[in-house]
Copies of this chain bind each other. A is one copy, B any other.
């Protein structure tokens, strides 16, 4: 949840413009789809596209329109139940694992739902006086950040659906850039000490990035680029997926029950390795960063390399030395790209989320927001690991140096990757 700016700089028109552009982007992402593609839920962790489109709308309806729009009449009262994700404070939820069993409201009806809510949000913002604007701006902003998260999930959930299909559907043809030589790895030393960690200031951040606090960081070195596919192949050829001594115990169990022997979406054909991407099944690029790997694989790879994963504090400290630039969703590449050849710290942002060694835990003095909004982050602080830096499916405007993404250690369907430390 947002740290609430007490003195907002967003003018009404800035807020409206931000609202329109984020909301429109969700629909832009759906343009290549057939109606059939909106319906399927390929695993309980993922959701159908139609659900994402409706749920993000539900968020504005629930947290902005219902409390603040005068005489608000919902388009369909059951949507409160159908499109609630996990907010117990709002009420019961349609069971998560059954989202893919629903065919109605149709996609057309959900677009109508979006349009109706958009109209009313825009009217509410336009007509709001200053005190109301103060109150709703952080909620609208939170809704937009929330929608950006779901835009990333739409791409990764869709990819997971398409990957079930032996026809290997193509979301969007992506020009194959001939991979350059694999750029050399470099190492970058930081001295650490007692440093400030977490979000400060008036701009938007989730509550889990706060409060800003001091942390003690020991000296460390961090790798200059992400681990590449060719390095992952070396790991595999060295028996990486068959050597229990490299793995956490839970990881080794998971590898066996899940029958893992390569990153997710890798396909071995007679003429070598391929990778399923949003551009279809393509030959594996050696120079590109490895992606769709779990924390377990990241950790095992690091152990094999006699390195380790960075802590989230180390990462945050290192990130302060580089600008927030990279291969984000706006590149329309929808896949991580190989690092540039340079001796600097590269790929800190975009390309792939970087697993850190840090379990997802509250910062000292952390307090979730009051009410249902407080369920946004805090209640998930258990059995997950922090990832940093964003990915090729993240919006540039969504990411921050203090941004803490989190997934369970077995999750592989996000654009996740590895940066080493030592």
Contact = CB atoms under 8 A, between A and B. Distances in A.
Contact of A361 (B214, B357, B379): B357
Interface in A57-91: 76, 78, 81-82, 86, 88-89
Which among A36, A362, A365 has the highest number of chain B CB atoms within 10 Å? A36
A249 interface: yes
Contact of A381 (B194, B248, B362): B248
Interface in A249-267: 249-252
Given A103-B34, A104-B36, A249 B167 contact: no
A161 interface: yes
B164 A248 contact: no
Contacts of A365: 218
A293 B86 CA distance: 25
Contacts of A359: 359, 361
A190 interface: no
Interface string A362-381: 10110000000011000111
Contact of A382 (B100, B162, B250): B250
B216 A39 contact: no
Copies of the chain in the assembly? 4
Given A216-B215, A249-B380, A161 B100 contact: no
Given A216-B215, A249-B379, A250-B382, A166 B81 contact: yes
A322 interface: no
A107 B213 CA distance: 56
Contact of A103 (B105, B165, B166, B382): B165
Nearest to A101: B164
Given A164-B101, A249-B86, A34 B215 contact: no
Contacts of A375: 245
Given A40-B39, A40-B100, A167 B105 contact: yes
Nearest to A358: B361
A78 B251 CA distance: 27
A35 B78 CA distance: 22
B382 A251 contact: yes
A283 interface: no
B244 A88 contact: yes
B36 A106 contact: yes
Contacts of A194: 194, 216
A226 to B, nearest CB: 22
A165 B105 CA distance: 10
A216 B382 CA distance: 22
Interface in A77-128: 78, 81-82, 86, 88-89, 94, 98, 100-107
Given A215-B216, A216-B194, A245-B89, A164 B102 contact: yes
Contacts of A245: 88-89, 374-375
Contact of A166 (B94, B166, B169, B251): B94
Contact of A38 (B36, B78, B364): B36
A103 B50 contact: no
Given A35-B35, A88-B244, A103 B216 contact: no
13 contacts: A36-B104, A36-B106, A36-B107, A82-B167, A88-B244, A101-B164, A101-B165, A103-B165, A213-B218, A218-B365, A248-B381, A249-B379, A383-B409
Interface of A: 34-40, 42, 50, 76, 78, 81-82, 86, 88-89, 94, 98, 100-107, 161-162, 164-167, 169, 194, 213-216, 218, 244-245, 247-252, 295, 357-359, 361-362, 364-365, 374-375, 379-383, 409
